[in-house]
Amino acid sequence: MHTIKSLKSVSLLVMPGIVAVLLSACGKSGPVSGTEQDRLLIEQTINSSIGWAKTKDLSLLYSVIANDTSFLEVHPEGKVVSGIDEFRKAEAFWMSPDFQAVRYVIRDLRINISESGTVAWWFCILDDINEWKGEPANWEDTRWTGVMEKRDGRWQIVQQHFSFGGG
């Protein structure tokens, strides 16, 4: 009886340590590493660069993209948007009451961070579901790649490319 009580006491003392080790090994406990924290911030930046449209929050959009001439965006139909001034021309479309962002889904997101920790690139599949004058205006199964740079401690998109599968 005494041995069973001792084992229970020991297991009650050891079990939290074992759980902590297991959770730590699984990445569920303890501080987040710099790389993992950057990965989370990059994912948040990617989501913000699309998710801003639901509430038409232009300040959110412009907080996550490069606001200079280095910004580059390529659309599925081949249009190339070069520089922030050209990018801003689309505001009339987005802010129109005829445009409504419905939802978006990002699948198969893959993020890579450079050894320096100042550049990242990603790939995913995007379903961007919208309406224009009540009619569907969607980009579905869209391949989305991009490059970010860490500027003043914030991740900003400097280049992105959207394309549709070729069949």
What is the spatial distance between Cα 123 and Cα 159, in angstroms, rounded to a whole number? 12
Alpha-carbon distance 110 to 95, whole Å?
30
Contact 125, 142 (CB under 8 A): yes
Asked whether residue 4 carries a pLDDT value surpassing 80, the answer given is no
DSSP three-state, residue 13: helix
Looking at residue 165, its pLDDT comes to 82
Q: What does the block give as tokens for 102?
A: 């419905």
Lowest mean pLDDT among 29-43, 86-100, 153-167: 29-43
To the question of pTM greater than 0.85 for the whole model, the response is no
The chain-wide mean pLDDT, for the chain, equals 86
Residue 34: pLDDT band by 50, 70, 90 thresholds?
A: confident
Task: Give pLDDT, residue 102.
Answer: 97
65-68 contacts, C-beta under 8 A, 24 or more apart: 65/156, 65/157, 65/158, 66/149, 66/151, 66/156, 66/157, 66/158
